[in-house]
Structure 1
Amino acid sequence: MKTRFAHHRRTVWAVALLFSVLPRGAFALDPRKSLTQYSRLVWTQQDGLPQDTIRAIAQTPDGYLWLGTDEGLARFDGYEFVVFDKSNCALPGNSITALASAGNGALWIGTSNGLAEYRDRQFHTYTTKQGLPDNAISGLYEDHGGTLWIVAGVYLSRFQDGKFTNFAPDADLPVTSVRQIREDRHHDLWVAGFSRVVKMSGSQFVTMIDPKILNGDIVTSMVADRHDNFWIGGSAGILKRSPTGEIRRYGARDGLPDQLVRALWEDRDGNIWAGTNLGIARLDGDRFVTPRDGDNRNSVRCLFEDREGNLWVGSNSGLTRYRDDILTVYGKSEGLPSDEPNAVFQDHSGRIWVGFHDSGLMLFSGGGNRVFTTRDGLPNNEIFSIRETRDGDLLIGARGGLVRMHGTRFTTFVPPDPLGRVNVFDAMEESTGRIWLATPGGLAELHANKIRFVIPGPPLLVSSMVTLANGRDGALWAGTYGKGLWRIKGDDTKLFTTADGLASDEIRSLYQDPDGTLWVGTFGGGLNALREGKFLKFTAKDGLLSDNVSDLADDGESLWLSTTRGICRIAKRQLWEFAQHQRPRLEPVNYGVEDGLRSAQCSPSFPVGSGGYRAANGQIWFTTSRGLAVFDPGARKPSPLAPSVQLVEIAVDGALVDLGHGTRLGPKSERIQIRYTGIHLRAPERVRYSHMLEGLDPAWTEAGNRRVINYNSLRHGHYRFRVKAEVPGAPPSEQSYAFEVLPQFYERAWFRLLCAAMLAACAWAVYQLRLRQIRYRFALVLEERARLAREIHDTLAQGFVGISSQLDAVAMCLADQTTPARTFLDLARRMARHSLTEARRSVMDLRASALEGQDLAAALESGTRMWTAGSGVGVDVDITGTPGALPQEMEQHLLRIAQEAVANALKHAGASKISVKLHMEAGKLYLRIQDNGRGFEEDGVFASRGGHFGLIGMRERAERLGGELQLSSHPGEGTEVEVKVPLP
C-alpha cells in the first residue's frame, strides 16, 4: 500500500512538472494530466437517455452526437436527448448496434433487424430485400472514399453507388465469421474474423495476424494509429502489431483493469485509449493508467472523441464525457493529503509548499510529496500562511503559534495572550529583518525569540490582524478582520477605514505592485486600490465576479482575484480606464466549475493572505475548498470552436411542420413556436443566443441561454427567422429559416380588388341616384321659376305697362297745364316705369336659361333674332374661330351682355341695324355688338341712367369672367360694345 501511494505521488509531481514546461494542445485531453484531472460528467436514463447501455457513438457534420442503445437511437446537443425508435420513425429495429457518420452528412445506423440511413431528416431502411446478406448488423465503417463497409451476420458487405456487394467468409474472405473492420493510415482495409486478421490490398486479402497469434482471442475492436501500429482489442487484452510485424500484448500486468477490451481509440494527440469491462485506461508510456477506484468500474462498450476534443465513453451505466480544462486541480485523488488547502507558497529554490486546513504542511517536490504534521513538530495541522525569511527559513502561520522551519526542524513561538488567542494568521519579515505577526490579539513582533504586541487589539474577532504586506517605502501594511487597514512605519501608525474611502473594513489580502499602488482585497467591498493617497473601489456592481476577494496575484498585466464565486482575472489597464470614466463597466475573465474547478469557492476556512500565489515560472496557484488549482497564463490555450446552430423544430398551433423546405403557414396560424440549439458539447452552458425575425423585428434580440421563441398572430407576409449562437473566444455562428404566413381570403389581392370594384359600383350607383335627384329638384325649381315669371309677366308687369301707358296719355292731355297735378303725375309715371323695369329684370332672372340645350353661338344667333323681332331693325350675327365647349356660367354671362346691349340699341339708339360678332381663338374670346344709332357722350356712361339696368351690369358680368368690357360711342356715329374674355 505504501509503495503504490508513493508511486502515485511521484506520478502526480511528474505531471505537475511537465505541465509547467510543455505547451498544451488545443481541444484534446492533455496526456500530462492524470485521468482524475479531467472534468467528468455522466448522463443516464434519468437525464433522458432511452437506456443506460450505450453500444455506439457517432457525430454527424452538423455537430449532433448520436448514441445507439437497446431502446432506440438518441440525438444529443449537449442539453437534451431526442429519442428515435420504431414508434416515431422508420427504424427497422430499436436495438442499435453500430453507427457511422458519412461524409455527405448522413448517419448510418446498424440494428439487429437491418440497416438505416438518416439524411435530410428522413430515415431510409435497407434489409435483405435490398441486398443485405443478413439483417443482423454488428459493425459499420465508411472508408476514405465514402464507401460503406458493413458487418452483417458473419458476412462482410460493401455498399457503393446504391448497391450491396457481399463477401462470404471462407468463400470470398480467408476468415471465418467477420467480426471487425477498420482502415489504416494507407487506406488499406483490415478485416478481423474469428480466426485471423487480414488486410485487403487492392483485390487481394493478405493475412496480417494468423490464428496462432490470436490464439482463440475474439476480436472486439481495432484501431490503426498514426505510427502504423495496429491495435486489436479482444477477450484476452490488447495486441499491438508494429509496422515491422512485431507483436506486443498488453494485459493486467501492463495496467489494464480487465482483460476484456471492447473499445479502442486514438485521440488527436496520439493517445491510445482502451475501454474494458472494468472502465477506461490510457496508455502512458508503456503502461496503461486508470482513474482512481470508484470512478472506473463500468463496463465500457464504445469510445469516441468529438470535434472539440472531448472523450465520450459509452458503458452499461450511461454516457460519460471527459473534458480537459484550462485549470488543473490537485486533491486527494492526485495524492494530496487533503482537498482543503489553505495556503500555497514557492520558496527561493522553486519548491512548492502547501498548507492545509486539517492535514499539515506538504512539500510538492520531484522526489515525492512529503507531508509534515504534528508528528513532525507542528503545533497543529491547520496552516494559515507560509512565507520565507531572507536566510531561507519558512515562517508558517498556524493554529497554536508561529512556526519557523529551518531545514526539517520546527521551532514554535506562541503569542503571550492572556485570553489564549495563540493563532498566527500571517507572519512576514520586513526589509530590516523584523518579523511581524498578524494574530487575533493584534499586531505583534518576534524579537530575540520572543513575541511582543506592537498594536494590541481588544478581545473582539473583528479586531484580529489577518494579513500583512511590506510597503515599498519601508512601511508595513496590516489588514484586520473587520476594523480596517493599518499602516506602520517606525513609530508612526495610521488606521484607514470606510471613513477614509475604503469600501469595507474587512481586509483579506494586501499587495503593493511595482508602481506603488496598494491593492486591497476585502469582504463585502470588492477590490480597493490606494493610489496617490486616494482609495479607488471596484465592486461586483462595476463588473467584478464578487465583492468578496480573499486573495490576489499579479502577472504583470492583470490581477487574479480569488473570490467566493470563482477566479476573476481583470486587466489593470481596465481598472484604470474605469476609474478615469473611460469605460462604463469592467469586463473581467472569470473561471469556475466549467473551467475545471471542483468548487467555485476560493476562500479557505478562515480568511488569510496566501490563498493565491504566482510562481516564478508564471503559474498561478489557487487554494479552493475542493483542491489546489493551477493556471498557467503563458501556456497556449485551446481556442473554442463556434457552436453549430441548428433549428430543432417549428410548431404551429402545436403541430410540427416539415423543416425540409420553405414553409407556407396557414392563415389561421395563431401561435408559432421555434426551437433552436447551438451545439457546443464542451460547454453548452456557455452558449449565448440572439435572434431576429426579419419582417417583424427591427434589430437582434438578446436571448441569453433561452432556446425557444414564440410568435403570436403574425400578419400575413414573408418572414426569415435568424438565430446566432456564440461562446466566449469564438466567432458567432448563424442559422436562418424562411417561411410565409398565408393571408386570409379577405386579405388577398383578388378580394381587395373585388371589394374595390363593389365600392366603385356602389359609389357610381349613389352618384347616379344623387344626380337624378338633383336633376329632378332642378327641374322642379325651373318649373317654379317659369311659373313665377309667367305670373309676374301676366299680372304685375302687364299692370305696370297699362299704368304707364295711361299715365303717358294723361301727361299728354295735361301738357299745357302747369298745375301741381302735373308734377304728381310725372312722379307716378316715373315710379311705374321703374317698377316695370324691375319686374322685367326679375322675369329675366327667373326664366329658364336661353342656353338650355344649345351652345353660346347658337343661343346668340337665335336670341338676337328673338330680341329684335317686330322692331324692323336689321340684324347681322357673325360667328368665327373654333367654337368649343365653355363653362355654363361664362356662356350665361356673355349671352346676358349681348341681350342687354341689343336691348339698349333698340330702346335708346334708334338704330336701324345691329351687328353681333363672336370670335374665339386660342386662349381668347371676343364678343362685339355694334349699332348705327344716334350714339352718346361716353362721360359718366357707367352710372345708372334713370333707374334702368344700364351698362354697369354689363361691366360687372365681364369682370366676373375675368375679362374687360370696352364701349365706344360718339353722338351720331352709333355705339360699339366689345367684351374680351380669357378662355380656360
Structure 2
Amino acid sequence: MFSFAAKQIRALLAGLLSLFSLGFALAAPAEPAPATSLARRLADPTQSLTQYKLDLWQTEQGLPLNTVQALLQTRDGYLWVGTAGGLARFDGARFTGFTSEQAPHLASEPVFGLLEDSHQQLWIGHSQGVSLYRSGKFESAVPAALTEGRRVWGFAEGRDGAIWMASENGLLRWHEGQSKRYQQADGLPTNKLRALAFDQAGVLWIATSGGGLVSFAAGKFQVMTPENGLFPHLQVRAVVPDPQGGVWVATAGAGLVHLKHGKVSRTYTMADGLPTDHLTALARDAQGSLWIGTWGAGITRMSADGRFSSVGAAEGLAGSQVWSLALDREGSVWVGTWVGGLNRLRNRAFVVFGASEGLSHDNVRAVLHGRDGVSWVSTAGGGLNRIEGDQITALAKKDGLPTDEISALAEDKDGSLWIGTYTAGVVRLKDGRFENFGLGQGLPNAEIRSLLQDRQGRLWVGTRAGMARFNGERFEPVTDKGVPQEGVLTMLEDRSGTLWFGTSGQGLLRLRDGRFTLLTKADGLLSNWIMALHEDASGSLWIATNGEGMNRLREGRLASIRTSDGLWDGLAQTILEDRQGNLWMSCNRGFYRVARAEMDAVADGLQSKVVSVGYGPGDALRGTTFAGGLQGAGAVSADGRLWLPSANGLVIVDPQRLPGAGKPPGVRVESVLVNGAKQATDAEVLVPPGAVPLAIRFTATTLLYADRARFRYLMEGLSQNWVEVGSLREAAFPALPHGDYRFRVAATIDGVHWSEAEPPLDVRVQPRMHQTLWFIVAVLLACGMSIWALFRLRTRSLRARQEAMEQLVALRTEELRQANEHLSRLSYVDALTGLANRRRFDEALHEEWRRSRRTHAPLALLIADIDSFKAYNDVLGHPEGDRCLKAVAGVFADALGRAGDLAARYGGEEFVILIPGADHAAAAAVAESMRAACEALAIPHPASPVGPVVTLSLGVASCLPSDGVTVESLLAAADAALYRAKQDGRNRVR
C-alpha cells in the first residue's frame, strides 16, 4: 500500500491525463494514498523540493575556500562568489580566481558582500574595506579612513544612484566619488551593521549585530529593539524588500519577521514550521517564494501560501550552516555554507516521480495508460501502482498479488489487466480479483518479459524461455517449427496484422498467414538481440538492438543506423514517437531523441548522419539506468508526454519543454593568451612573429545548462570549416602562419540551435623580417640583377668555343648531380603517406641531436599511434586503412611550423615529429593540436573502444642534449609517454 510522503507530495499527480474515474473494487481494498497533483507538478516543477537536484562545488572543483559568504549573479551571467579565501567568478563550468596583481588588497581577503549597481559596476565588501570592479579592473572604492580596516557586509543602491554600505565601522554612503559615514553619534545603536535594503517607499532598512533593526528616512534613524517593543531581537542578519510593501527580516534567534508600514505585522518561528529560529540569509524568487538560510538547519522555502519546506544535510545539502543565498535568472538557488562549499538547488530538467513523490518504489519497470484514463505503473519490489486523478493506489502481495516483483503490463479488450511478474508468472486483474497463471497453467517460464493481445483477441506471453498463447483457460506453449525457445522481450502487431516478436539473442520472429519465419544478422539485422519495436505512421518498422544501433524495415528491406551515423547510443530499450515526429529511445546512460525524418534520410542514403540529442546525468536525472528488456518500458500519455521507467523513478518528458530547446545560450570570448600572456579581448590581437602559441578561452552565459553547453569555432583565414570541440572551452593554436585572421565561436545546448559571439575576434600574426613585403621586393630586385649579370656572362662565354664546351660539360655534370639527389630524396620518402620514412628520421634525429648539443638548445620528440588501428583494418579492410593513414599523415604534415621540423612515418600506424628548439610545453601544445585535428577529421571508426572516430594517442619528450642524455633515452622517454597515453584511455597526450 502506498504511504503518504509528506505534505509536499500533494503537489505531484492530479489531472495529468484528464483522467476519468474507474469503478474498481478489490477483495481486500487498499486505501488510496494522496499524491502530489501531477498536473500542477508538470506545469510548475518547482512546487516540490523533491524535484530540485543538489549540486556541490568545493575547493577540489576550484572554489578558493569552502566558506562561502557572499553570492551574486551579474547581468553578464557570471556568478560571483565571495569566500573566506578570496573572490572567484564562476561560469557554471570553471572558477576564475584573481591574483594580487589583478586585484590589489583583495586577492586573498575574505569577501562578505557583493552588489552590481545600475552602471554594471561590481561593489565588493571585504575584510579591509570596499573594492570596485569595472571595465575588467579592480580599484579601491572608498577611502580607507572610513572603514578603518573593518569588514563591509552589505550594499544597497538608492534611487539617486548612491551606494550605501553596511560595515562594522558604521553606515557608509558613496555618491559620485564623495563618501560619508554615519555612526552611533549620528543615531545608530551600534557601528556593527550587517545588511541593507530599500523598501518600495524608499526607506533604508539596516540590519545590525546587537542593535536590532534600524530604518533611515528623511535623514533620521529609527531604532527598533526588544527594549522599546518595536522588534523581537537584537541580532539581525538579513533584510529584503517585499513587493507587496514592507520588508522581510531574518533574525538570529527570533525567526522570520515581516514589517509593513514600519511595524511588525507577523513573526514566524519554529511553531509555524521553521526548522530553527536562527536565520542567516534571505532571497525572494520570481514565484513569490521566500528562501531562508538558517544556522544549523540548511535552507527553508516559504511558498507564497505561507507553507514551509526545508532542505538540510539529511537531504544532501553539504553544510547546514548557511552564510549566503542567491537566486539566478534560470531559477536555481545558490547556497553558500560555512564549511561545506557552494551548493546549488536546480529544478530538474524533467519531472521525476518516485518514492519521494508517492510511488511505492523507485525501481519502475513498465507503464500502461489504460483506455479508461487510468495509468498503471509496475515496480520491481513495490508491486503495482494505479494512478487515477489525484489518487495513487499501491497493489502489493498483501492485496492478493503473488509477488511484488512486477514486470510487463497489457490491457485486455474486456477491460481487465494482464500483469507480468519476474517470479510468479502472469496475473489477471478482472472485476477486482487477481487470478494467477504459473507453470502449472502452461507457462514455459515464470519470468514474464512481454504481453500482447492481438486483434483476434489472442493473448501472447513472452517469457525468459519461450512464449505461450492463452486459450481462454490456460496457456499453451508455442512450439511451432522455427520458434526460438529463448527470451521474448518485445512484441508488436503491425497494421497489416503481422505479428513480430523480438528475442534475446535469436533474432526477430515474424508470424504471417499462420507461418513463423525468423530474421537474423544474416538477413541484415545489426544484432540478434532485439530490445524494442515501433511501427511509425508510414508503416516502417523500427527495430532496436542491445547496443548495436537500430534497423528500419520498410517494404521488406532492412537499413541500419549506428552510433557512427550519429546515434547518441547504440542501445534502445524503448522506442516512442512524439507529436513532432521525433523518436525517443532510453538506454543505460539516459535517453535520447532523433528526428524520424533524419533517420529515414540516413536509411535511404540521402544524408550521412543524424543529429541525436542525449539527456543524461547533467540534466539532473536521479539516475541514468532505464528499464529495458520488457514490454511497456515507456509509454506516451494522452497529452503527448513521454513516461520513461527508470531504476530511480518514473521520468516524465514534455517534448514541448526540453532543456534549452530553441534558445541557445549567449557566448563570449573570455580571455586571450599570447605566449602565456593575457591580451585584451576588445581589440585586435597581435601575435609576434614565429611559432608563438595562441590560446583563446570562451564561455557560455548559462549556469543551469553549463554542463550541456557545446562549442565550435572557426578561424577564418586558417580554415573554412567549423571545428566541433564539445564541452572544451578553449581553442589553442601552437603556431599560426603570419597574416590576418578572424576568430568566431558559437555555442549550443540542444545541438540544433546555435548562438555566435559578436563581434568576431580579429587576430594579426606579424611576419618575420624575410616575410615582409619590402624584403621580398629587395630579394626580387637582387635576383633580377643577378640574372642580368649571368646573362651577360653567358653571352661572352659563347664567343669562345672552348668556353661553351666547358659550360656544356658543367651543365651535364650538374644535371647528373641533381638526378642523384632526386633519387636520394626518393629513398627518404614513405611511398604511402608522402612523409619522411624511418631512414630519413634516424638521420635527421642524429643530425639535430648534434646541432642541439652544440647550440645548447632543447630538442623535442613526439611519437603518435593511431588508436585501435588493427581493429580498423580488420573491420573496414586494408584499402580503407591506407586511406586513413594518408589522412592522418596530412595532420602531421600540416603541423610542421618551421623548416627544421620533421614529420615521419615511424612504421605501421606510428608517426613521429622532431621539433628542434622546442621545450616540453611547446611540444605538448603541438601534440594536443594534432590530437584535436585528427579527431576533427571525424573519420568513422566503428571498432574503436575510445569513440566513434579515429583518434590519436601521443607521447611527448623533450630534453637538452648533454653527456648524460642520449638519443636512445629521448626515444625511450617519448615511447614511454605514448604507452601511458594508451594506458590512460587513449585519445590523449602524455
TM-score with structure 2 length normalisation?
0.69
Closer, same or farther: CA 416–442 of 1 in aligned 2, 3 Å = farther
- The offset of 1:60, in angstroms, is 2.9
1-structure distance, mates of 2:531, 2:454: 19
Q: Does 1:300 align with 2:361?
A: no
Match for residue 309 of structure 1? 331
Match for residue 427 of structure 1? 451
Tell me the amino acid that sits aligned with residue 443 of structure 1.
M
Closer, same or farther: CA 217–427 of 1 in aligned 2, 3 Å = farther
Tell me the amino acid that sits aligned with residue 547 of structure 1.
G
2-structure distance, mates of 1:510, 1:329: 25
- Give the counterpart of 1:71 among 85, 93, 99: 85
Aligned pairs for 1:747-762 (under 5 A) are: none
2-structure distance, mates of 1:383, 1:428: 16
2-structure distance, mates of 1:574, 1:717: 40
- Give the counterpart of 1:103 among 118, 128, 138: 118
User: Would you say the 8 A contact 1:415–1:451 is kept in 2?
Assistant: no
Closer, same or farther: CA 521–663 of 1 in aligned 2, 3 Å = closer
- Cα-to-partner distance string for 1:796-816 (whole Å, 9 max, x where unaligned): xxxxxxxxxxxxxxxxxxxxx
- The offset of 1:752, in angstroms, is 7.8
1-structure distance, mates of 2:206, 2:621: 44
User: Would you say the 8 A contact 1:666–1:742 is kept in 2?
Assistant: yes
Q: Does 1:80 align with 2:94?
A: yes
User: Would you say the 8 A contact 1:646–1:676 is kept in 2?
Assistant: yes
- Cα-to-partner distance string for 1:612-652 (whole Å, 9 max, x where unaligned): 11112322110123221011234587657644444444334
2-structure distance, mates of 1:635, 1:714: 44
- 2:455 counterpart SS class: coil
Tell me the amino acid that sits aligned with residue 451 of structure 1.
F
Aligned pairs for 1:710-859 (under 5 A) are: 710-714=732-736, 719-728=741-750, 729-734=753-758, 736-738=760-762, 740-742=764-766
- The offset of 1:137, in angstroms, is 0.7
- Cα-to-partner distance string for 1:42-74 (whole Å, 9 max, x where unaligned): 011111111101000122333322111111111
Match for residue 404 of structure 1? 428
1-structure distance, mates of 2:732, 2:659: 39
- The offset of 1:14, in angstroms, is 5.5
Aligned pairs for 1:240-389 (under 5 A) are: 240-242=258-260, 247-277=265-295, 278-284=297-303, 285-291=305-311, 293-296=314-317, 298-316=320-338, 317-365=340-388, 369-389=392-412
- Give the counterpart of 1:220 among 237, 242, 250: 237
User: Would you say the 8 A contact 1:502–1:528 is kept in 2?
Assistant: yes
- Give the counterpart of 2:692 among 645, 660, 670: 670
Match for residue 897 of structure 1? none
Match for residue 140 of structure 2? 125
1-structure distance, mates of 2:769, 2:269: 76
- The offset of 1:661, in angstroms, is 5.8
Relative contact order higher in (CA < 8 Å, ≥ 6 apart): 2
User: Would you say the 8 A contact 2:483–2:516 is kept in 1?
Assistant: no
- Cα-to-partner distance string for 1:528-576 (whole Å, 9 max, x where unaligned): 3443344444333332222322112233433322233432223333333
- The offset of 1:701, in angstroms, is 3.7
- 2:283 counterpart SS class: strand
- Give the counterpart of 1:181 among 189, 193, 196: 196
Closer, same or farther: CA 496–765 of 1 in aligned 2, 3 Å = closer
Tell me the amino acid that sits aligned with residue 545 of structure 2.
T
User: Would you say the 8 A contact 1:645–1:735 is kept in 2?
Assistant: no
Tell me the amino acid that sits aligned with residue 237 of structure 1.
G
2-structure distance, mates of 1:438, 1:507: 13
Match for residue 644 of structure 2? 622
User: Would you say the 8 A contact 1:385–1:608 is kept in 2?
Assistant: yes
Match for residue 233 of structure 1? 250
Tell me the amino acid that sits aligned with residue 269 of structure 1.
Q
Tell me the amino acid that sits aligned with residue 745 of structure 2.
V
Closer, same or farther: CA 689–151 of 1 in aligned 2, 3 Å = same
Closer, same or farther: CA 732–601 of 1 in aligned 2, 3 Å = farther
Tell me the amino acid that sits aligned with residue 103 of structure 1.
S
2-structure distance, mates of 1:661, 1:510: 57
- 2:60 counterpart SS class: helix
Q: Does 1:449 align with 2:473?
A: yes
User: Would you say the 8 A contact 1:415–1:421 is kept in 2?
Assistant: yes
- The offset of 1:215, in angstroms, is 1.6
| Range that drifts further, 158-167 or 185-194 | 185-194
- Cα-to-partner distance string for 1:269-289 (whole Å, 9 max, x where unaligned): 322211212212222332111
Match for residue 114 of structure 1? 129
Closer, same or farther: CA 24–197 of 1 in aligned 2, 3 Å = farther
Match for residue 708 of structure 1? 730
Tell me the amino acid that sits aligned with residue 683 of structure 1.
Y
- The offset of 1:164, in angstroms, is 0.9
TM-score with structure 1 length normalisation?
0.70
User: Would you say the 8 A contact 1:652–1:669 is kept in 2?
Assistant: no
Tell me the amino acid that sits aligned with residue 415 of structure 1.
L
Closer, same or farther: CA 766–273 of 1 in aligned 2, 3 Å = same
- 1:633 counterpart SS class: coil
- The offset of 1:385, in angstroms, is 0.7
| Range that drifts further, 59-68 or 735-744 | 735-744
- The offset of 1:463, in angstroms, is 2.0
Closer, same or farther: CA 106–718 of 1 in aligned 2, 3 Å = farther
Closer, same or farther: CA 248–518 of 1 in aligned 2, 3 Å = same
- Cα-to-partner distance string for 1:750-782 (whole Å, 9 max, x where unaligned): 87899899999x989989x99xx99xx9xxxxx
2-structure distance, mates of 1:244, 1:617: 49
2-structure distance, mates of 1:470, 1:500: 21
- The offset of 1:202, in angstroms, is 5.5
- Give the counterpart of 2:437 among 386, 392, 413: 413
> 5+ unaligned residues in a row in structure 1: which ranges?
778-984
- The offset of 1:506, in angstroms, is 1.9
2-structure distance, mates of 1:315, 1:745: 58
User: Would you say the 8 A contact 1:672–1:711 is kept in 2?
Assistant: yes
1-structure distance, mates of 2:452, 2:443: 24
Match for residue 547 of structure 1? 570
Match for residue 892 of structure 2? none
Closer, same or farther: CA 641–259 of 1 in aligned 2, 3 Å = farther
Count residues with an aligned counterpart.
767
User: Would you say the 8 A contact 2:746–2:756 is kept in 1?
Assistant: yes
- The offset of 1:171, in angstroms, is 1.8
2-structure distance, mates of 1:719, 1:117: 35
Match for residue 155 of structure 2? 140
- Give the counterpart of 1:538 among 540, 548, 561: 561
- The offset of 1:327, in angstroms, is 1.3
- 1:547 counterpart SS class: coil
Match for residue 560 of structure 1? 584
- 1:290 counterpart SS class: strand
- The offset of 1:90, in angstroms, is 0.2
